[in-house]
Amino acid sequence: MTQEELRGILKNVIDPELGINIVDLGLVYDVAETNGRIYVQMTLTTQGCPLHDTMVGGVKAALQAHPSVREVEVDLVWSPAWTPEHMSEAAKRQLGF
């Protein structure tokens, strides 16, 4: 799958606190596929986010629903730290930036 296809799938994962998908929020730093194995490097809006497991589980569930996906690895990173500048223009408008 291409980066665009993978990011399209990840747009179905919504941050429950903000109501915006994780791609438009700028939480997904990298996503790649090799032989049915998906690697996602992402962050959260805050390091102590209580929804850590929910967000990672949502990413895995969304990707594993695709028939060609065999395995999903989510690498949660804190550097670079997330800032509102990572958001898409659509997300910024939705949140009033």
What is the pLDDT, as a whole number, of residue 48?
A: 83
pLDDT of res. 69: 96
Task: Determine the pLDDT at residue 49.
Answer: 80
Superfamily name with CATH number, domain 3-82: Fe-S cluster assembly (FSCA) (3.30.300.130)
State residue 93 phi and psi, 5-degree precision: -65, -45
What is the pLDDT, as a whole number, of residue 19? 93
Domain assignments of the chain as residue spans, ordered by start = 3-82
Q: Note the pTM of the prediction, 2 decimals.
A: 0.92
Q: How far apart are CA 63 and CA 60, in angstroms?
A: 5
- Those residues of the chain that have pLDDT short of 70 are none
